[in-house]
Amino acid sequence: MCFAQRHVLTYMEDAVCQLLENKEDISQYGVARFFTEYFNSVCQGTHILFREFSFIQATPHNRASFLRAFWRCFRTVGKNGGEKMETQKNVISSLQNSDQVFSLYHSDVSLW
């Protein structure tokens, strides 16, 4: 399987951009440690925290990582069940498809 199919090039490009943006901070502990921590965060799924939407939707792994992080934060909301919980589950499951995310956003904006 080629690297492009696994999105390795996307992560390498992002890692280099992050390295260049934070080069003052990185000089304290080195480039090798930066890359180690970056790819560990990719494996753990924490690399999507505080990132722009375009990065989150860039790969299936990023979208799945976002959903896991989102679910960990909000899993207790509506824990008692009921209709509200079903609505929340539907919204969360629809986040997997970026086209639906845009349509949800668009419909929310039109309500204002």
Q: pLDDT tens for residues 40-97? A: 999 999 999 999 999 999 999 999 999 999 998 888 776 665 556 666 666 666 666 6
**Average of per-residue pLDDT across 89-109:** 57
Whole-angstrom Cα distance, residue 57 to residue 62?
A: 6
pLDDT, position 110: 46
More confident residue, 93 or 4: 93
Whole-angstrom Cα distance, residue 25 to residue 33?
A: 12
Collapsed DSSP state (helix, strand, coil) of residue 65: helix
Q: pLDDT tens for residues 10-39? A: 999 999 999 999 988 888 889 999 999 999
Got the DSSP string for 13-25?
Answer: HHHHHHHHHTHHH
Q: Where are the alpha helices (DSSP H) in the chain?
A: 3-6, 8-21, 23-26, 31-44, 53-56, 60-74, 83-94, 98-111
